[in-house]
């Protein structure tokens, strides 16, 4: 009997380094380096993530390694851009050199990544010398979108900042093939347009875009005309042309310049400055423009491909507001979005691209089978995104006893769910660690902090006392999949928290009707009760919904069921288990450290339950402020 064909996908040396192992077309393991190194958006060669993936493999041989883009093409783009904008363009070129060539005297740099990969694999015990393949950046995104999807055939849309030259692509996936038919090229980029406004509003590029999306409902779209008239020309097919004289990323080290400042009445907001009406309205305006672009592209792709289903990846595909509008517009009958849509997902796509699209001479170019449930219906191949490491009860117990941590054991799952539901129903906040860690930016119940969505104070408490982040940031609801339609205007599955949907009208509070965003006091607006589940209802009555399914997350589903039986509400607040600037926790030790550095009430790790006030003295409560840089 022949052994499985194994491909290893990698992304690194920009942001969100990750590794993914595929065996016979099935994703066996995938994880971001940041979860192990504890450095948010870690870009280094993902040695820890590779080690984890190899440990999950059924054997020591790797048939091919795939890096998520072509470094030589990226260098060509950087060089051509620098020459085309000289002499000013030489400044960003000099700053880009370390990323491409590495730091003198050290390994690293995309141009020499093949040697770095080979050295890493040798040090980690790979017994053969696998070839290294280089699919293009947007091919990796496209592969991550289509190959794990539940569709035999579908249109493909990839949207992000920039790969080598492409910034967006669309095409078709059929069986084990991908055909990308059109692209938008740098410097014109939907992702960079959104990131420029992210920067201008005082948030970090490549990590703060979701903050801008969360801020948007507090504003009015009063800058839409200015954006359309001066920054971007949007064509009928969704392609765009940027007015490059307003942007700084071609010939400088920042996203915007003085012309951009003049257009919006002053310099960019500094990260520590108060958020004003300008930032709220800019966030709303660019969100409206982005949503319109996505809808136009979607309609164009539907017309050109004739496909009824759409798959998406790339950083812009994480914009769940635009995704929700695309779904409600019924441009496509079905929509599937890669949960690790950004560069981390590039590792997943690279591994799958190598397996399905790689040369037959290497034993690759293999057929594809859509994943199926026991009843024969199709499902996606991401396994709920639970593709990271898990930790045995024995290992967890050893850690707890070694550190003299006070805990109780709830061995029976029914008793565990009932106890946690009781605690949640009395407004306790619980850190939850169970099963395999999620891949991608969203915690989906395995590395989560959960709370009672019916509590009017829960959003403020969790933002300010636990997450240590801005008060305006909304929380997401996790809801029993079979009851989601009762609480949200959503009639499809949303297991990866990538769709925004309105709260059902009969769940809304009358006091919130006509809530016009006129106040500049964010805290006052955050604290208004808008529905029966105020902790997860945004200012515009929207929610970023996660539907929880018994087949992919049985334990989390059991907890929601127990909470619903106790309260009548099948919804919980679900936010990632971390504090501001920290990666999501990976292991029990990470979880305990975060737990004790915040004001969480309880920590549940597998069958073990810890009450914070019973723990031994903790002298490190503010360490996260020194360890993790605010994002």
pLDDT, tens digit (0-9, with 9 covering 90-100), for 112-168: 899 999 999 999 999 899 999 999 999 999 999 999 999 999 999 999 999 999 999
Mean pLDDT in residue range 181-190: 98
Using DSSP bridges, classify how beta strands 334-337 and 309-313 pair: parallel, antiparallel or unpaired.
parallel
Please check whether the domain covering 393-627 is classified as CATH 3.30.565.10.
no
Mean pLDDT in residue range 207-232: 96
Topology classification of domain 184-337: Nucleotidyltransferase; domain 5 (3.30.420)
Given a contact cutoff of 8 angstroms between Cβ atoms, the answer to whether 470 and 211 are in contact is yes
pLDDT over 90 at 522, yes or no: no
3-state secondary structure 104-118: CCCCCCHHHHHHHHH
Per the prediction, the chain carries an average pLDDT of: 92
Going by pLDDT thresholds of 50, 70 and 90, the confidence category of residue 511 is low
What are the E-state strand segments in 490-594? 499-502, 542-548, 571-576
Mean pLDDT in residue range 169-192: 98
Mean pLDDT in residue range 318-330: 97
* Range scoring the smallest mean pLDDT among 107-121, 397-411, 490-504: 107-121
Identical fold, 6-70+102-137+340-381 and 184-337: yes
Calculate helix-pair angle for 320-328, 277-305, nearest 10 degrees.
50
Query: Which residues are CB-contacts of 260 (< 8 A; sequence separation ≥ 6)?
Result: 196, 200, 231, 246, 247, 248
Check residue 624 and give its pLDDT: 47
Higher pLDDT, 127 or 285: 285
Query: Which residues are CB-contacts of 444 (< 8 A; sequence separation ≥ 6)?
Result: 384, 385, 386, 438, 478, 495, 496, 497, 546, 553, 556, 574
Check residue 102 and give its pLDDT: 66
Gap between the terminal Cα atoms of the chain? 50
Mean pLDDT in residue range 297-318: 98
pTM value is 0.95
Query: Which residues are CB-contacts of 422 (< 8 A; sequence separation ≥ 6)?
Result: 566
**Domains in the chain: boundaries:** 6-70+102-137+340-381, 184-337, 393-627
Check residue 108 and give its pLDDT: 60
Going by pLDDT thresholds of 50, 70 and 90, the confidence category of residue 512 is very low
Backbone angles phi, psi at 477, to 5 degrees: -90, 135
Check residue 618 and give its pLDDT: 76
Mean pLDDT in residue range 290-296: 98
Check residue 441 and give its pLDDT: 96
High-pLDDT (> 70) share of the chain, %: 91
Please list the alpha-helical segments (H only) found in 85-202. 90-101, 113-123, 137-146, 190-200
CB atoms within 10 A of CB 346: 38
Higher pLDDT, 320 or 87: 320
Check residue 1 and give its pLDDT: 55
pLDDT, tens digit (0-9, with 9 covering 90-100), for 539-587: 999 999 999 999 999 999 999 999 999 999 999 999 999 998 999 999 9
pLDDT, tens digit (0-9, with 9 covering 90-100), for 32-75: 999 999 999 999 999 999 999 999 999 999 999 999 999 999 88
Instruction: Give how far the C-alpha of residue 51 lies from the chain's centroid of Cα atoms, to the nearest Å.
Output: 22
pLDDT over 70 at 106, yes or no: no
pLDDT over 50 at 350, yes or no: yes
For residue 435, give both structure tokens: 């099963």
* Range scoring the smallest mean pLDDT among 303-312, 335-344, 464-473, 589-598: 464-473
Helix (H) or strand (E) holding 310: strand 309-313
Question: What's the chain's length in residues?
Answer: 631
Q: How far apart are CA 118 and CA 105, in angstroms?
A: 18
Q: Domain 6-70+102-137+340-381's class?
A: alpha beta
CB atoms within 10 A of CB 361: 8
For residue 565, give both structure tokens: 């039986």
């Amino acid at each position: 009997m022949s052994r499985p064909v194994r491909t290893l996908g990698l992304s690194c040396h920009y942001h969100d380094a990750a590794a993914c192992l595929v065996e016979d077309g099935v994703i066996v393991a995938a994880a971001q380096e940041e979860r192990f190194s504890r450095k948010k958006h870690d870009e280094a060669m993902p040695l820890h993530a590779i080690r984890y993936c190899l440990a999950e493999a059924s054997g020591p041989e790797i048939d091919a390694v795939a890096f998520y883009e072509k470094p030589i093409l990226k260098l060509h783009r950087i060089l051509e851009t620098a020459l085309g904008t000289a002499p000013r363009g030489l400044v960003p070129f000099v700053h880009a050199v370390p990323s491409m060539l590495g730091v003198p005297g050290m390994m690293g740099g995309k141009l020499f990544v093949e040697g770095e990969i080979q050295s890493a694999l040798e040090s980690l015990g790979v017994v053969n010398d696998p070839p290294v393949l280089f699919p293009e950046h947007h091919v990796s995104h496209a592969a991550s979108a289509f190959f794990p999807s539940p569709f035999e055939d579908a249109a493909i849309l990839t949207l992000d900042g920039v790969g080598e030259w492409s910034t967006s692509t669309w095409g078709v996936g059929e069986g084990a093939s991908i055909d990308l038919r059109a692209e938008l090229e740098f410097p014109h980029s939907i992702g960079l347009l959104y990131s420029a406004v992210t920067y201008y509003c005082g948030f970090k590029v490549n990590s703060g875009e979701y903050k801008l999306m969360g801020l948007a409902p507090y504003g009015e779209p009063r800058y839409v005309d200015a954006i359309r008239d001066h920054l971007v020309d949007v064509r009928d097919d969704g392609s765009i042309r940027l007015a490059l004289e307003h942007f700084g990323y071609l010939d400088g080290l920042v996203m915007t310049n003085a012309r951009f400042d003049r257009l919006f009445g002053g310099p960019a907001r500094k990260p520590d400055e108060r958020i004003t009406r300008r930032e709220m309205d800019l966030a709303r305006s660019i969100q409206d423009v982005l949503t319109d672009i996505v809808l136009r592209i979607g309609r164009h792709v539907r017309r050109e491909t004739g496909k009824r289903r759409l798959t998406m990846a790339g950083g812009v595909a994480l914009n769940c507001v635009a995704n929700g509008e695309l779904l409600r517009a019924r441009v496509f009958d079905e929509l599937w979005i890669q949960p690790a849509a950004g560069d981390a997902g590039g590792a997943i796509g690279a591994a799958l691209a190598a397996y399905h699209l790689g040369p037959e001479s290497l034993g690759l170019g293999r057929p594809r089978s859509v994943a199926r449930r026991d009843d024969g219906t199709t499902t996606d191949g991401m396994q709920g995104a639970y593709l990271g490491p898990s930790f045995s009860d024995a290992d967890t117990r050893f850690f707890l006893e070694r550190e003299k941590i006070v805990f109780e054991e709830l061995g029976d799952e029914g008793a565990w769910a009932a106890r946690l539901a009781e605690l949640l129903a009395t407004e306790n906040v619980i850190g939850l660690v169970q099963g395999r860690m999620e891949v991608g930016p969203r915690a989906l119940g395995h590395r989560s902090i959960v709370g009672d969505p019916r509590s009017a104070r829960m959003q403020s408490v969790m933002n300010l006392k636990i997450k240590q982040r801005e008060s305006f940031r909304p929380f997401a609801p996790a809801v029993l999949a079979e009851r989601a339609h009762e609480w949200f205007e959503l009639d499809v599955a949303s297991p990866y928290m990538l769709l925004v949907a309105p709260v059902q009208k009969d769940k809304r509070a009358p006091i919130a009707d006509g809530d016009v965003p006129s106040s500049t006091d964010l805290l006052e607006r955050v604290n208004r009760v808008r529905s029966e589940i105020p902790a997860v209802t945004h200012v515009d009555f929207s929610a970023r919904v996660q539907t929880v399914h018994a087949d992919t997350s049985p334990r989390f589903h059991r907890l929601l069921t127990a909470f619903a039986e106790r309260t009548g509400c099948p919804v919980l607040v679900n936010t990632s288990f971390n504090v501001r600037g920290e990666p999501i926790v990976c292991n029990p030790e990470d979880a305990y450290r975060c737990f004790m550095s915040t004001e969480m009430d309880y920590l549940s790790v597998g069958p073990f339950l810890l009450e914070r006030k019973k723990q031994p003295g903790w002298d490190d409560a503010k360490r996260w402020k020194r360890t993790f840089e605010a994002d």
